[in-house]
Structure 1
Amino acid sequence: MSYPLDTPLGRFGVRNFEDGPDRCVASIPAGDAVNPLTGAPTIAPLAMLVDHAGGLVNHHRRDADEWTVTSELSLELRPEAVEIIAAAPGEPVIATARPFGPKGEIALALCELTHRDVALATATVRSFFISAPDRIAPFSDGPPAPPPPIPFAEKMAVTVAESGGATQVLLQPQDPVLNNSIGIVHGGVSAMALEMVAAAAVNSGRAGAPLRTASLRVNFLREFQSGPESRYVGTALRVGRRTGIAEAQAVGADGRSAIIARVTAYR
């Protein structure tokens, strides 16, 4: 199953192969993804895929009057994941997600990511259950299609506001295609942007071999709305010869952090 282009999943080429409460299998193309802050290939699409596949498994476990909201996402990668994808950029990354433990007030999904049957990453998505909101907007019934052949940053509708130095900033102007079914920026889109600003922060001014993202941890605190002042801010906490740590925030127009993340990178 593919999604229409006027949905966040369709824009990034996500496809479903299995879809149910016991197992979800989905894919995303990642070979053309470039971080607009650094010009280097990025593993950011894997965060989108994890958010989708793991969140979908949790969503299938809801009761009829419930909805799910993702609270945490974690992704642990092989540092050479970018190089593995680059060896066959036309092949998608595959995620296989399963539930972990019984359904309670929260649900946890485990996710394994592969590329041409090579293990790339392991991940988790934790969701909690809320009363079904009144403002759920169904996705359109438009025909599915391949993602548009435009630069990755254009798909995300982000623009570079600040680059260079220990702080890196991407703006998130309004683009309704990037919204989820309750009208806020899709969590997978935000997770991708947070990885990119954090990765750019640890690599700012770095000569020689880049530090490559090995772990991404995201906490969703509140709704994140796109707009002229909405932005992703990445700040390096520590950068050494072989490792780097950065934090990132999605900041709304009110100046409050809506989503926070931490990236650890290695040479």
Structure 2
Amino acid sequence: MSMVAPSDNTGAAGAGIHVVTTPDPSAELQDPETPESVLTRFGIMTLDENFTEFTVVASMPVGRLVNPFTGMPTVGPLAILVDDVGGRANFYRRGSGQWTVSSELTVELSPDGIDSLQAAPDEPVVASSRPLGPHGATLLAICTLSHRGSTIGGGTVRTVAIAGGPDGPIQRGPDTLVRTPQTSLADLMSTAPMPTEAAAYRLAQRPDSIINNLIGIVHGGVSSAGLELVASAAINHGQAEPLRTASIRVNFLRPFFAGAQSRYEGTALRVGRNSAIGDAQAVGDDGKVSILARVTGYR
């Protein structure tokens, strides 16, 4: 079967595509939406999977990652972990011969979440996902995020099951990025800050097959993290006291292909005394808006 990107009206494909088209349990051990290359790049470790209850537990180190614009600790990369565990919980429930397209992703952080990460930055965050409701028009998974044994947040991933799909994951070469404790988040994501224009923050998304999913689309968790980075930078523009991200809400509109012109753009919708709202969009190499996000921050 040929590999075809879903159309704009399929329910959105920004978070990628799950593509194993048979219910073979051995094939289900790796969800093509979050291929092994993404797990390795970001240090995600699977701790437990239950193919009867459709639960997934995985961990990821995020405590030392910072926003490339502000230099402050960021929770944006938690979207990568949420997308992984939530996407897998949904993917494992698909019907025979189906693949899944992610349409929405959310991340919620507790008021003390960032404090916990800063207090023990080398301790990974653990995400535990499970199904929320039956397989209907969509599949919905919810997860909790814990750090040092305490719950610091949660998230959801919604996907749409579609009949058919590509034959299997594309092959990619070895990862040439050597990760060290000094490797920046921007390098892990293959991104680069662009000049700020009128308090609008832009982050270039460079092509990198390691962070792509099956059909060459930027992994949905990675793109969600990019959207949080620019939105957070925008709401913190000129602020003496930082506004910490409390929630991230993402809608995937169409496939997000990286190229010379692909980027994330973030602006502040409102900045108040104790809270702020920022909007962000991912613009593909074709100039079309592929993903939208809204970020809320509090002091």
State the TM bucket, normalised to the shorter chain. over 0.9
Are 1:184 and 2:217 counterparts?
yes
Alignment check: 8 A CA contact 1:230 1:251 kept? yes
**Distance change >3 Å, CA 123–CA 6, structure 1 → 2:** closer
Other-structure match for 1:262 = 294
| Partner residue of 1:32 out of 58, 64, 73 | 64
After superposing on structure 2, the runs of 4+ consecutive aligned residues of structure 1 that deviate more than 4 Å are: 1-6, 138-143
Other-structure match for 1:249 = 281
Question: Which digits, 9 at most, give the CA deviation of each residue in 1:136-189, with x for residues without a partner?
Answer: 32567989xx95441111111100113375311000011111101222100010
Alignment check: 8 A CA contact 2:172 2:209 kept? no
Other-structure match for 2:9 = none
Other-structure match for 1:158 = 191
- Secondary structure class of the residue paired with 2:139: strand
Take 1:139 and 1:87, find their aligned partners in 2: how far apart are those partners?
A: 40
Q: State the Cα distance separating 1:133 from its structure 2 match.
A: 2.0
Take 1:259 and 1:141, find their aligned partners in 2: how far apart are those partners?
A: 27
**Distance change >3 Å, CA 55–CA 139, structure 1 → 2:** farther
Instruction: Look up the equivalent residue of 1:95 and give its one-letter code.
Output: A
Other-structure match for 1:137 = 169
Q: Any gaps of 5 or more consecutive residues in structure 1?
A: none
| CA-atom RMSD in angstroms | 2.4
Other-structure match for 1:80 = 112
Take 1:79 and 1:131, find their aligned partners in 2: how far apart are those partners?
A: 41
**Distance change >3 Å, CA 9–CA 186, structure 1 → 2:** same
Alignment check: 8 A CA contact 2:107 2:153 kept? yes
Count of matched residue pairs: 264
Other-structure match for 2:39 = 9
Question: Which digits, 9 at most, give the CA deviation of each residue in 1:43-88, with x for residues without a partner?
Answer: 0121111011111100000123111111001111113322211111
Question: Which digits, 9 at most, give the CA deviation of each residue in 1:211-263, with x for residues without a partner?
Answer: 00011000011100011100000010000121100100000122211000000
TM-score w.r.t. structure 1 length? Answer: 0.92
TM-score w.r.t. structure 2 length? Answer: 0.83
Instruction: Look up the equivalent residue of 2:237 and give its one-letter code.
Output: S
Alignment check: 8 A CA contact 1:231 1:250 kept? yes
Are 1:116 and 2:148 counterparts?
yes
**Distance change >3 Å, CA 228–CA 138, structure 1 → 2:** closer
- Secondary structure class of the residue paired with 1:56: helix
Take 1:164 and 1:141, find their aligned partners in 2: how far apart are those partners?
A: 36
Take 1:13 and 1:220, find their aligned partners in 2: how far apart are those partners?
A: 24
- Secondary structure class of the residue paired with 1:61: coil
**Distance change >3 Å, CA 136–CA 30, structure 1 → 2:** same
**Distance change >3 Å, CA 200–CA 30, structure 1 → 2:** same
Alignment check: 8 A CA contact 1:20 1:60 kept? no
- Secondary structure class of the residue paired with 1:193: helix
**Distance change >3 Å, CA 79–CA 2, structure 1 → 2:** farther
- Secondary structure class of the residue paired with 2:194: strand
